[in-house]
Homo-oligomer: A and B are copies of this chain.
Amino acid sequence: MSIAAKDTLPPLPAGFLDKLAAIVGEAGLITNPADMIPYLEETRGLYEGTSPAIVRPANTQEVADVVRACAQADVAIVPQGGNTGLCGGGVASGEVIINLVRMNKVRNVDPFNYTMTFDAGCILADLQRVAEVNNRLFPLSLGAEGSCQIGGNLSTNAGGTSVLRYGNARELTLGLEVVLPDGQIWNGLTALRKNNTGYDLKQLFIGAEGTLGIITGTVMKLFPLPRERHTTFAALRDVEAVLELLSRARSASADTVATFELIPRIGLDLALKHIPETVEPLTSAHKWYALIEFESGESGSGLGAVMEGYLAAALKDGLMVDAVVAQSEAQRQQMWFIREAMVLAQAPEGASIKNDISVPISKVPEFIRRADKAAIALCPSVRPVAFGHIGDGNVHYNLQAPVGADDATFLARWNELTEAVVDIVRDLGGSFSAEHGIGLLKVRELANFKSALEMDLMRSVKSALDPKGLMNPGKVL
C-alpha cells in the first residue's frame, strides 16, 4: 500500500521554508532527502511518506509560530512523534511534518501530588526512568517504549500491558498544553484530580491522532513504585477459564492485578522456534496460558501468600492445569520474555494479518471461538494467533499465513479475512481498533463501523476546531 502523494496538495508558497527556518533555526529544519528518510518511513512498511520539509521546533512557542505560519499560508501539517504508530497516523502525503523530537524536557515532578509535567516529545522509557528516580511509577508501558514519544501515545490514547490496573493514556492524563490549528496555545496544564469547571477540553485532543491540534505538553499521574511483584505463568483448562480466573484474581488481590495476558501455545511455539533465548516455561505443553502479575507497594505485604492461595484454588477447581511462580527477578523476566518474543516471532514465521480488537471481557472466549471458525472457513490452513490484554478485553487477533504459503497471496486476502473478524467484533459489541487507532489504515473501516450520526458528530467537532482542515488531513475522518 502506498498513498497518493504530493500532487494532491498545492506547492508551498514561495519563501515559505525560509519563514519556517527563521522560526526554528537551521537545526530545526530538514529538507535534505537523505536526512528526511527516518521521518518518512513507516513501521510496517505499508506506506511511503512524502513531505517538503521536516520541522523540529525546540519549544511550544516555536510549534505555535510554525503552525500559525502554516495556517496563514494554508499549508497542511502532519504532527509526528517517534513515528512508531501502527496505522499510519504519522505518515505524510505531501504535508509539512512537525516532529517534536527536540521537545524532550521534564518540566516538573511533584511526588506528593503523584504527577509529572513534561514536553510531548519525551521518550516513554525516559519518563519511566525519571519517575523511578523519584520513587514513583509511571505505568504506561508498551513495545515501542524505547522510541515512541509521549505526545504520540496521547494522540493515539495508547494502552499497553498495564491498562488493567492503571488505565490507558487518557486515564493517566490530568492536563494538556496544545497548539491549536490556528497557532494559538491552549494552556490546560492543570495537575488536578478534580476540576469540574466547564467542558473537559483535553479529552478532545487525546486520541484525536493530531487532527485537532498538536499536544506539546502534559501533566500525567504517577503511582507508588511497586516493591514486590508476584508473577505466574499458568496453563489454563481452556480459554473459557480466563473469565473466572481474572475475576478471582481481581478479588483475591484487592484489585492489584497489574497484568493478565493470554498466550496461546502457537505463540509460544513461534517464540521457541524463532527467538533464541525463549525458555519453555512448564514441563508439558498446553493450549492456553496466562501471564499474571500482582503488585504490592511494600515488601512483606503478604501478597505472595495471596497469589499462592489463588493458584492453589484455581488448580484444585480445575481452572488451571499447571502453574509456576517466578522465584527471582530473572525468572520473572523469562516469563515476560515469552510475551515479547511471541510478538517478535510472527514476522520471521512469514506474513500475518493483524487485528487489534476489543470486546467485553465476558465475550473474549466466544470471540476467539467464532473468529477461529470464520477464519478457517475462509482459509482452511490459516493459523490464528490470539493473544493480548484479557483484563481489558483486548485481543491481538493475528492470522498467521498457512505453513509454506506465499506471503503476497495470503496478504491479498487482508480485507476479506479482516472483514470476517470485524463482523464478529461488531456482533459482540466490540471495537475494531482497541489501542492502535485509525490513522490511514482504518479510515474506511471507521466509516463502515460507526453510525452516520457518530461520523457527523466527529465532523462537527473537527470543523469547530480545525475549520480549514489543515491538521493531519485524511487521518481518522
Q: Which A residues fall within an 8 A CB radius of B?
A: 110-115, 156-157, 159, 163-164, 167-168, 170-171, 180, 184, 186-188, 190-201, 203-204, 206-208, 212, 223-227, 243-244, 246-247, 250-256, 295-298, 301-303, 305-306, 358-363, 389, 391-394, 429-438, 442, 446, 449-451, 453-454, 457-458, 460-461, 463-465, 476-477
Give complex CA distance A172, B457 in Å.
23
Q: Which of B112, B156, B198, B391 contacts A196 (CB 8 A)?
A: B156
B192 and A360 form a contact (CB under 8 A) = yes
Chain B's closest residue to A178 (CB) is B457
Residues of B within 8 A of A195 (CB): 358, 431, 433-434
Residues of B within 8 A of A442 (CB): 197
10 contacts between A and B (CB under 8 A): A112-B247, A164-B193, A192-B358, A194-B431, A196-B433, A201-B457, A225-B251, A254-B256, A254-B296, A463-B464
Residues of B within 8 A of A227 (CB): 251
Q: How far is the CB of A221 from chain B (nearest CB, A)?
A: 11
Q: How far is the CB of A413 from chain B (nearest CB, A)?
A: 23
B110 and A360 form a contact (CB under 8 A) = yes
Give complex CA distance A351, B361 in Å.
51
Give the most central of A207, A255, A393: most B CB within 10 Å.
A255
A449 and B362 form a contact (CB under 8 A) = no
B429 and A252 form a contact (CB under 8 A) = no
Give complex CA distance A191, B192 in Å.
27
Q: How far is the CB of A120 from chain B (nearest CB, A)?
A: 18
Beyond contacts A157-B200, A159-B194, A194-B389: 12 other A-B pairs, Cβ-Cβ < 8 A, are A111-B362, A112-B243, A114-B361, A193-B394, A194-B358, A194-B393, A194-B434, A197-B431, A200-B207, A250-B297, A302-B306, A461-B461
Q: How far is the CB of A143 from chain B (nearest CB, A)?
A: 15
Q: Which of B186, B206, B363 contacts A200 (CB 8 A)?
A: B206
Residues of B within 8 A of A434 (CB): 192, 194-196
Give complex CA distance A452, B212 in Å.
19
List 4 A-B pairs, minimum CB-CB distance, nearest first: A302-B302, A203-B203, A112-B362, A464-B464
B255 and A224 form a contact (CB under 8 A) = yes
Residues of B within 8 A of A180 (CB): 453, 457
Give complex CA distance A156, B475 in Å.
32
A438 and B203 form a contact (CB under 8 A) = no
B360 and A438 form a contact (CB under 8 A) = no
Give complex CA distance A247, B298 in Å.
12
Known A-B contacts A298-B306, A302-B301, A465-B460; the reply to A446 vs B197 at CB < 8 A is: yes
Known A-B contacts A198-B446, A450-B198; the reply to A254 vs B297 at CB < 8 A is: yes
Q: Which of B171, B186, B194, B306 contacts A454 (CB 8 A)?
A: B186
Give complex CA distance A461, B198 in Å.
11
Give the most central of A110, A193, A223: most B CB within 10 Å.
A193
Known A-B contacts A111-B247, A438-B197; the reply to A192 vs B453 at CB < 8 A is: no
A194 and B168 form a contact (CB under 8 A) = yes
Give complex CA distance A224, B197 in Å.
31
Known A-B contacts A194-B393, A360-B191; the reply to A201 vs B163 at CB < 8 A is: no
Chain B's closest residue to A156 (CB) is B196
B196 and A438 form a contact (CB under 8 A) = yes
Q: How far is the CB of A378 from chain B (nearest CB, A)?
A: 24
Residues of B within 8 A of A206 (CB): 200
Known A-B contacts A112-B362, A255-B223, A465-B460; the reply to A196 vs B435 at CB < 8 A is: yes
Residues of B within 8 A of A200 (CB): 157, 170, 203, 206-207
Q: How far is the CB of A142 from chain B (nearest CB, A)?
A: 12
Chain B's closest residue to A310 (CB) is B298
Q: How far is the CB of A10 from chain B (nearest CB, A)?
A: 27
Give complex CA distance A201, B459 in Å.
11
Residues of B within 8 A of A115 (CB): 360
Q: How far is the CB of A36 from chain B (nearest CB, A)?
A: 28
Residues of B within 8 A of A184 (CB): 453
Chain B's closest residue to A187 (CB) is B451
A193 and B358 form a contact (CB under 8 A) = yes
Q: How far is the CB of A116 from chain B (nearest CB, A)?
A: 12
Chain B's closest residue to A158 (CB) is B196
B254 and A298 form a contact (CB under 8 A) = yes
Q: Which of B156, B171, B306 contacts A301 (CB 8 A)?
A: B306
